[in-house]
A and B are shown apart, each in its own frame.
Chain A
Amino acid sequence: EVQLVESGGGLVKPGGSLRLSCAASGFNLNSAWMTWVRQAPGKGLEWLGRIKSKINGGSTDTDSAAPVKGRFMMTRDDLKNTVYLQMNSLKTEDTAVYYCARGFSDSWGKYHGDDALDIWGQGTMVTVSS
Chain B
Amino acid sequence: QSALTQPPSASGSPGQSVTISCTGTSSDVGGYNYVSWYQQHPGKAPKLIIYEVDKWPSGVPDRFSGSKSGNTASLTVSGLQAEDEADYYCSSYAGINIMIFGGGTKLTVL
In the complex, the answer to whether A115 meets B103 with C-beta atoms within 8 Å is no
Q: Are B48 and A115 in contact (CB under 8 A)?
A: no
In the complex, what residue of chain A is closest to B92 when comparing beta carbons?
A115
Using C-beta atoms within 8 Å of the partner chain, give the interface range for chain B. 20 to 34
Given A45-B101, A107-B58, list of 7 further CB < 8 A pairs? A37-B46, A66-B1, A104-B48, A104-B57, A114-B34, A115-B36, A115-B93
| Contact (A44, B89) CB under 8 Å given A50-B97, A63-B97 | yes
Complex Cα distance A45/B38, Å?
A: 10
Take A45-B38, A47-B99, A116-B52 as given contacts and tell me if A122 and B104 are in contact as well, using a CB distance cutoff of 8 Å: no
The answer, yes or no, to whether B45 is at the interface (CB within 8 Å) is yes
Top 9 closest A-B pairs, CB basis?
A: A115-B34, A120-B45, A116-B51, A115-B93, A63-B97, A44-B104, A45-B101, A116-B36, A47-B99
Residues of chain A lying within 8 A (CB to CB) of residue B93:
114-115
A44's partner among B57, B58, B102 (CB-CB below 8 A) is B102
> Do B51 and A104 have beta carbons less than 8 Å apart?
yes
Contact with A along B80-110 (1 / 0, CB 8 A): 0000000001011100111111111000000
Of listed A45, A63, A104, residue having the most chain B CB within 10 A: A45
C-alpha spacing A117/B96, complex, angstroms: 18
Question: Which positions in B face A, CB cutoff 8 Å?
Answer: 1, 3, 32, 34-36, 38, 40, 45-48, 51-52, 55, 57-58, 89, 91-93, 96-104
Q: Is the CB of A63 within 8 A of B55?
A: no
Interface assignment of A46: CB less than 8 Å from any CB of chain B: yes
The 8 Å CB contact of A121, one of B45, B92, B96, is B45
Nearest Cβ on chain B to A93's Cβ, whole angstroms = 15
Find chain B residues with CB under 8 A from A77 CB.
none
Contact B45 A123 (CB under 8 A): yes
Q: Is the CB of A112 within 8 A of B99?
A: no
Q: Are the CB atoms of B103 and A44 closer together than 8 Å?
A: yes
